[in-house]
């Protein structure tokens, strides 16, 4: 599909979270009505936390048939599940312990193997399985973006950007954003999404947002440029601090 992205500019981060919650509820309801299944890939970082809290509270919490929802992570920091840096822990605290998703439909990235490469292989099987349940697609991939243009844990000029097309998950070392060891979906996996939703807020993302959305193609420098689902859409919800919409 590779269509032009849908870009929505909100006055502040709270309105981004509100708009995203409404949008996700509508999408989840549509997909569950059509297929009895909604596969959602969560983002880490700080930006989605307010979104997750909104989804876990009235009025949104009662608008999704959570029993039909399956949860994966787009990336995980290679720390234990109870570490304050864990994206799994953040999602549990803000969303997952407040909704009725069956525990066997929540697929955290394993972080207990001594070798993260082994963890990536194990997680790849989970991602493949969710892709099969979604008839080859992930219903929704939520992403954030760093000020350097990274998304998930795919960082500028990192060898993981050149993962083979048949790899869905990759182990990351030496990430410039702490912690250095991470696990990430590859772009090959992300681009199987039916819908990608980027949430980006804050003035520190200005340069990257401009480069990713309207700069010259340079995906090694600006990895988020590589998010182009083969058969899906990309929506950006950003706040005005990012400078988008300014002339
Ligand atoms: C992570 C991420 C990462 C994040 C961006 C934006 O685990 O660190 O998933 O890709 O989404 O760095 O982070 P903020 O929302 O905190 O700016």
pLDDT, tens digit, 9 for 90 and up, residues 41-67: 999 999 999 999 999 999 999 999 999
Ligand 1 pocket: which of 72, 83, 144, 200 to mutate (most atoms <8 Å of CB)?
144
CA 213 to chain centre: 18
149 ligand 1 Cβ < 6 A: no
d(CA 62, CA 60): 5
Mean pLDDT of all residues in 169-180: 97
Decide: residue 106, CB within 10 A, 0-12 exposed, 13-18 middle, 19+ buried. middle
Q: What is the pLDDT of residue 26?
A: 98
Model-wide pTM > 0.85: yes
Q: What is the pLDDT of residue 73?
A: 98
Q: What is the pLDDT of residue 1?
A: 54
Q: What is the pLDDT of residue 246?
A: 81
Mean pLDDT of all residues in 62-87: 98
68 ligand 1 Cβ < 6 A: no
Average pLDDT, rounded, for the chain: 96
Q: What is the pLDDT of residue 245?
A: 82
50 ligand 1 Cβ < 6 A: no
In percent, the amount of the chain with pLDDT more than 90 equals: 95
Order of strands, sheet of 169-172, starting from the edge strand that comes earlier in the sequence: 75-77, 182-185, 169-172
The ligand 1 atom at the shortest distance from the C-alpha of residue 47 is 15
Q: What is the pLDDT of residue 184?
A: 98
The answer to whether residues 142 and 40 touch, using CB atoms and an 8 Å cutoff, is yes
The answer to whether residues 139 and 42 touch, using CB atoms and an 8 Å cutoff, is no
pLDDT digits (tens, 9 = 90+) for 100-148: 999 999 999 999 999 999 999 999 999 999 999 988 899 999 999 999 9
pLDDT(2) > 60:
no
């Amino acid at each position: 599909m590779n269509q032009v992205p849908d870009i929505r500019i909100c006055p502040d981060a709270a309105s981004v979270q509100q708009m995203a919650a409404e949008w996700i509820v509508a999408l989840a309801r549509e997909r569950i009505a059509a297929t009895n299944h909604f596969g959602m890939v969560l983002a880490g970082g700080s930006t989605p936390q307010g979104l997750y809290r909104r989804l876990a509270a009235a009025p949104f919490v009662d608008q999704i048939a959570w029993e039909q929802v399956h949860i994966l992570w787009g990336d995980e920091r290679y720390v234990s599940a109870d570490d304050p840096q864990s994206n799994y822990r953040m999602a549990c605290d803000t969303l997952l312990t407040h909704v009725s998703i069956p525990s066997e439909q929540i697929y955290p990235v394993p972080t207990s193997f001594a070798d993260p490469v082994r963890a990536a292989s194990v997680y790849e099987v989970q991602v493949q399985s969710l892709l099969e349940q979604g008839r080859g697609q992930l219903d929704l991939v939520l992403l954030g973006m760093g000020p350097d243009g990274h998304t998930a844990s795919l960082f500028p000029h990192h060898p993981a950007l050149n993962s083979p097309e048949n790899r869905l998950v990759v182990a990351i070392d030496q990430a410039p954003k702490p912690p250095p060891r991470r696990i990430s979906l590859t772009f090959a996996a992300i681009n199987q999404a039916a819908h990608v939703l980027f949430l980006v807020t804050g003035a520190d993302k200005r340069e990257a947002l401009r480069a990713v959305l309207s700069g010259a193609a340079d995906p090694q420098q600006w990895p988020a440029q590589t998010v182009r689902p083969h058969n899906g859409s990309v929506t950006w919800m950003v706040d005005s601090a990012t400078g988008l919409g300014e002339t």
